[in-house]
Amino acid sequence: MFELTQDHEEFRRLVRDFAEAEVAPHVEEWDAAAHFPAELVPKMGELGLFGLNAPEEYGGAGLEEGGFTYLCLAIEELGRVDQSIGITLSAGVGLGINPILTYGSREQKERWLPDLVAGRTLAGFGLTEPEAGSDAGAARTRARLEDGQWVIDGAKSFITNSGTDITSVVTVTARTGQREYGRPELSAICVPAGTPGFIVEPAYRKLGWHLSDTHGLTFEGCRVPEENLLGSRGEGFKQFLKTLDDGRIAISALAVGCAQRMLEEASSYSKERVAFGRPIGVNQGVSFQVADLAVMVEAARLLTYKAAWLKDEQEAGRRSIAEVKQAAAVAKLYSTEAAVSSTRVATQLFGGNGFMEEFPVARFYRDAKILEIGEGTSEVQRMVIARGLGLPSD
């Protein structure tokens, strides 16, 4: 069975110290200004956080086993201080680096991975569209071959790390043809930042994740070389399904960081806040809620790190993709819903102070909801779990 090693725990402390020193002192100011701290990304790169899954030849850690668990530990600890910084790492690796690392040609890897792994640049993954979210196969963005180039037309929505000053490339899924049985042929294509016809729309005004970079993208006759195709033509659907499976475990780790912070905040406040002449934690109505938070955190963490362990075992050839897929959906469903519940409970325990931006529970309350939506909604996770149990489906 899985368990964290001493090396894992030492790495956790390393990332926690980094988050407390480099993020915590600035996060309230960054959040209020909706500022994406690009200057933090190279520092994360120097710590090796973007290269945990990458081989040494591209500047990565070259871990033979366990790399995904290390990544989840880093995401959890960053997310415990600020969820936006956690998702910047999660998306930077899971949606930016990993598709190129997994499916890219030698030339593509050599072109983009060294800078991405070092934190000098970021990459995005253009999947979601205005009318194609959970039904990603309904994508309308199209790419046609013309004189040795892919000509891309369409639009993408809610794309993380896609419009920063250090964004180097966005991998875009597009219709490149039609299959015999009526479904579209989807392929993934690497589009370098700054390519003519690649338009980054203004940043969204979001409920939460104010520090995270999120944009809509428009493609108008955007031309890239034919060799920018990522992997094989028509394999885009399979590629993004695997990318999302891995991403769900990472989002689970982010949710664990959120719930852990809420447990810490609620526990501390319940000891310090005095009402009717005694700490509010004396009241069972409060203490029982804090106890429930502890249970949620423990369960979410165990589900998440079991899924991460299975992912590492699958990469080593000892577990099946189906096992990882099911574990990822279970972890993502429980952990994200636990995170949302934990912020609601913590905010309620803080009373009026919980509604004030000077207290971190308010920021986490805003940030948590997207966890149930991104990388597959809770409804999609329930569908995946049901199918994994062999229940009939359409």
Instruction: Please tell me the distance from the alpha carbon of residue 275 to that of residue 303, in angstroms, as a whole number.
Output: 37
User: b/e map of 220-238 (b: 16 or more CB within 10 Å)?
Assistant: eebbbeeebbbbebebbbe
Q: What type of residue sits at position 2? A: F
Instruction: Return the beta strands (E) in the chain as ranges.
Output: 122-126, 142-146, 149-160, 167-178, 184-192, 198-203, 214-225, 229-230, 274-275, 278-279
Active site residue 375: yes
Do 212 and 88 form a contact (C-beta atoms < 8 A)?
Answer: yes
Number of C-alpha atoms within 13 angstroms, CB side, residue 259? Answer: 31
**Marked catalytic residue, from 129, 313, 337, 375:** 375
Structure tokens at 300: 């979410």
Structure tokens at 339: 């995170």
Phi, psi of 168 (to 5 degrees): -105, -30
Q: What type of residue sits at position 345? A: V
| Strand 149-160 to 184-192 pairing | unpaired
Task: Supply the DSSP string of 332-367, one letter for each residue.
Answer: HHHHHHHHHHHHHHHHHHTGGGGGSTTSHHHHHHHH
Structure tokens at 386: 């049901």
Who's near 358: CB < 8 A, 6+ residues apart?
A: 28
Do 301 and 249 form a contact (C-beta atoms < 8 A)?
Answer: no
Structure tokens at 220: 């108008």
Active site residues: 375
